[in-house]
Amino acid sequence: IPISIGIAPSKTLCKVANYFAKKYASFQGICILDRPEKWLPLLEHMPVGELWGIGRNYGKLLKAKGVETVQDFMGLPSGWVHAQMKVIDRK
């Protein structure tokens, strides 16, 4: 049974790491994203629709705005994200 492992400092980044561990053979099933220097370059290659919490409808909304990758999404103004998307602030 094939498995993949993603390790990172947050739940969302763990899911990003797992995405790359599954999708890219070069990771050999294990992706450790323990520093920003490791995860930031990968985000420009991850489709925004694959990001945890972005469903089909938000994916369509973001693509209509020209947002294709997670890196594009990170560049959006937080005010726009809060106004257009359901955002839960956890402190």
pLDDT above 80: residue 87: no
Model-wide pTM > 0.85:
no
Return the number of other C-beta atoms located less than 10 Å from residue 78's C-beta: 8
pLDDT at 91 over 70: no
SS3 30: strand
Neighbour-count burial of 41, counting CB atoms closer than 10 A to its CB (0-12 exposed, 13-18 middle, 19+ buried): exposed
User: What mean pLDDT value characterizes the chain?
Assistant: 91
pLDDT at 56 > cutoff 90: no
